[in-house]
Structure 1
Amino acid sequence: METVEEKLRERIKELTCLYEITSIIVNCDYDHPEISLEAIVHCLKKAWLFEEDTRVLIKTGEYLLGDILCEEELVSIKSIIKIFNREEGFIEVGYPADKYAVTDFLEEEQKLLDNVGLEVGNLLERKRIRESELAIKRQMERADRLNILGEITAGIAHELNTPLTNILGFAELLESSMTDSDEADDLNKIKENAIFCREVVKKLMFFTCEVPQVRKEILLKPVVENVLQLLKPTFRNRQLTHEVSFGSKDIAVRVDEIQMTQVLFNLIMNALYYSPVRGKIVIAIRESQKNITMEIADEGRGIPENIGDKVFEPFFTTKPTGEGTGLGLSVVHGIIAGHGGQIYHRLGSKGGTVFVIKLPKK
């Protein structure tokens, strides 16, 4: 039976532990919460009656800390960790089973453990709230940048259209009266570069939503087949194959057919560029009650984590100078957003990148 002095000593240990844990949580670095959780493990060990034999484990979906390598059989008590009222882990404190029994735990120790479990849950809640706030802030900053850039690029597109039309028109006029082959070749280069610039202007106009949408119900299968037919020479030149699967050949969605063709063309072209020789591009289209989902997967090197958030930003490209404008994915993102859908990318099951498009059925 415990003496008054022993009981007092244990209560002091428990209160000291709770105070230290509260201090750890208050001063937590939310970028590295595992450091604080490790410190909580050490604090808990000091609060138990048989401190030297105490084993502590904290386990959640994200973290596993404490005596995780201990293979001995334990008798233990647990406290559930709840995050936003959902059970997502536990804290366990145990003693070696060959020396102790469950009755060696004090009633106050279970209460202490429950308090610590509550505090750890609150800590992880605050971490997630902070992450959510930072994500929202980044989205708002990105939206502001895109709005400003949209206004600028809309003006640029309009200003460039007229001189480009004049350059092409006069080049074709000169071409009709030119006899020297060398000069004709030079003139042809002028035309090709002017056409390239005009395509960039078109992409800018798509990006800034200057091209009006004409939405109608269309079947997706013919659109995909048409894009693949256009890209057939590129597949052949790069020795690539493709695999197309439809949940149903009658999958239809209300979209602008020209814009949806451009979306698929850009994404498949992107997959072609980054695919290894003799690789395979997989296109999968399926429907649910609310959405149409399209996936375009390649077998390339994948998108590095440090640029994952940037791929839809205008003028951002990993292609060498002259091989990309950095507008393709921005245009795709703008078109999908304009249709009330969403687009994102993820790592493929066998490496590479999968771009996923979700469009509402109505």
Structure 2
Amino acid sequence: MAPLISAEEKLNERIKELTCLYAVSSFIANSNLDDLHPTLKAIARSLQGALLYSEEASVEIKIEETIFFAGKKTAEQVFIISAIKAFNIPIGAIKVGYSKAKFTSNSFLNEEKQLLHKVAFEIGNLFERKQIIEKEMLSRRQVERADRLSILGEITAGIAHELNTPLANILGYSELLKEQFQDNKAVLNDLEKIRNSAIYSREVVKKLMFFSCDMPHQMARTNITTVIKDAISLLKPNFSKKGITCQVAIQETNIPFRVDSIQLTQVIFNLIINAIYFSPEKGVITVKVSQTSTHIIIEISDQGTGIDKTIGDNIFNPFFTTKPVGEGSGLGLSVVHGIVKSHKGSIKHSPNSPKGTIFTIRFPKN
């Protein structure tokens, strides 16, 4: 049975409830979606003040694992509770309680129960708005990134074509000059340096062409488990240098896929060489290959330092590198991205547990 209160007290309670609803709406309208903690704390305090026995009440707003509390804590309580939902999915709850020693479940007014449901509904709407804005921002960043990469692809393709001819000339004329100065060791040494530099530059051009998807595909239906195993076996000396163990887990021995085997090998090489570079001595690198009815999935994980959130959006951009000067061209991951994209696939990175990074590639079968 609800507590007996006079008409004047009822009027005061309605005013408190309306004031609370107005305050909650104001808090939500002026909230910072990047940090909702102050808003939820203020709502908890406002809700406590709207209750009949506000001095004796406690209000607990729980969102996932975070709790926002206001009021008087007691060990044993009688309480009412209302779920908080965003898009019909429970994300938390509001619990209002009194000490069990002084109150019973009948101490709550029906209007207070309705108020609790309204506040829970308003908080749910707030989190729905937050999720919608976050998804819009993510979609916008993905579109902007795709546009940037498309423009960079066009630019790098043009640069690669422009550089190919002069590099071929440098290599050709350096070979001719070597024949003319066979007896001059100093000149031959200098020509060899020119030749090596030109070959290195040519490899950079090849990577640029991979990134811009301007390398011709040699697509053929093949068993990709064989391609991946062969690529890993070629990297055994690299593993040995740092005492790294490579664990390979392949779901099935035969996973057929129409792919450019050379380009897939390039993808595996680049990702594993990166993983080796950032892995600690005697670390473990894991390569997993599996398939579903619609996709082929390749996961390469390491136990390195991981990828800082502040640079996560940039790692596939050409010439972006966290390696010291002279140790990386910044083209490895952009090449991987270009090859995967040219095969209509996707590549993402996520944190490994307890540390490191997982790169996940998904190729559609059709």
Q: Do both proteins adopt the same fold according to a TM-score greater than 0.5, normalized to the shorter chain?
A: yes
Among candidates 146, 150, 153, match of residue 149 of structure 2: 146
CA distance in 2, matches of 1:132, 1:243: 36
Is contact 1:161–1:201 with CA below 8 Å preserved after alignment?
yes
Partner of 1:266: 270
Is contact 2:45–2:70 with CA below 8 Å preserved after alignment?
no
Give the CA deviation at 1:328.
1.0
Going from structure 1 to structure 2, the CA distance change for 1:99 and 1:33 (only over 3 Å counts) comes to same
Partner of 1:13: 16
Partner of 1:302: 306
Please say which of residues 33-42 and 182-191 is displaced more in the overlay: 182-191
Give the CA deviation at 1:95.
0.8
Q: Which one-letter code corresponds to 1:342 in the other structure?
A: S
Runs ≥4 residues deviating over 4 A: 67-71
Per-residue Cα deviation, 1:241-298 (whole angstroms, up to 9, x for no partner): 2111111111222211111111111101111111122222211111122221111111
Task: Point out where structure 2 has 5 or more consecutive residues left out of the alignment.
Answer: none
Partner of 2:90: 87
CA distance in 1, matches of 2:205, 2:85: 53
Is contact 1:219–1:252 with CA below 8 Å preserved after alignment?
yes
Going from structure 1 to structure 2, the CA distance change for 1:216 and 1:139 (only over 3 Å counts) comes to same
Is contact 1:34–1:63 with CA below 8 Å preserved after alignment?
no
CA distance in 1, matches of 2:207, 2:236: 23
TM-score normalised to structure 1 length = 0.95
Alignment of 1:203-214 (within 5 A): 203-214=207-218
Alpha-carbon RMSD across the aligned residues, in angstroms, is 1.7
CA distance in 1, matches of 2:52, 2:353: 49
Give the CA deviation at 1:302.
1.1
CA distance in 1, matches of 2:242, 2:74: 54
Q: Residue 78 of structure 2 aligns to a residue in which SS?
A: strand
Q: Residue 335 of structure 2 aligns to a residue in which SS?
A: helix
Among candidates 215, 226, 240, match of residue 222 of structure 1: 226
Among candidates 271, 275, 279, match of residue 275 of structure 1: 279
CA distance in 1, matches of 2:128, 2:261: 45
Among candidates 328, 334, 352, match of residue 330 of structure 1: 334
Alignment of 1:1-362 (within 5 A): 1-61=4-64, 63-66=66-69, 70=73, 72-177=75-180, 178-362=182-366
Is contact 1:57–1:66 with CA below 8 Å preserved after alignment?
yes
CA distance in 2, matches of 1:236, 1:116: 61
Percent identity over the alignment?
50
Give the CA deviation at 1:240.
2.1
CA distance in 2, matches of 1:101, 1:179: 106
CA distance in 1, matches of 2:72, 2:338: 50
Give the CA deviation at 1:67.
5.2
Going from structure 1 to structure 2, the CA distance change for 1:39 and 1:241 (only over 3 Å counts) comes to same
Give the CA deviation at 1:157.
0.7
Give the CA deviation at 1:233.
2.2
Q: Residue 283 of structure 1 aligns to a residue in which SS?
A: strand
CA distance in 2, matches of 1:68, 1:265: 59
Please say which of residues 161-170 and 304-313 is displaced more in the overlay: 304-313
Going from structure 1 to structure 2, the CA distance change for 1:102 and 1:348 (only over 3 Å counts) comes to same
Give the CA deviation at 1:69.
10
CA distance in 2, matches of 1:56, 1:341: 49
CA distance in 2, matches of 1:2, 1:303: 61
Give the CA deviation at 1:226.
2.0
Per-residue Cα deviation, 1:101-155 (whole angstroms, up to 9, x for no partner): 1100000001001110110000011111111111122122222222222221111
Q: Residue 32 of structure 1 aligns to a residue in which SS?
A: coil
Q: Tell me the number of residue pairs that the alignment of Structure 1 and Structure 2 aligns.
A: 362
Is contact 1:80–1:89 with CA below 8 Å preserved after alignment?
yes
Please say which of residues 303-312 and 41-50 is displaced more in the overlay: 303-312
Q: Residue 312 of structure 1 aligns to a residue in which SS?
A: coil
Give the CA deviation at 1:68.
11
Give the CA deviation at 1:212.
2.6
Please say which of residues 70-79 and 121-130 is displaced more in the overlay: 70-79
Give the CA deviation at 1:179.
2.7
Task: Point out where structure 1 has 5 or more consecutive residues left out of the alignment.
Answer: none
Q: Residue 328 of structure 2 aligns to a residue in which SS?
A: coil
Please say which of residues 151-160 and 12-21 is displaced more in the overlay: 151-160
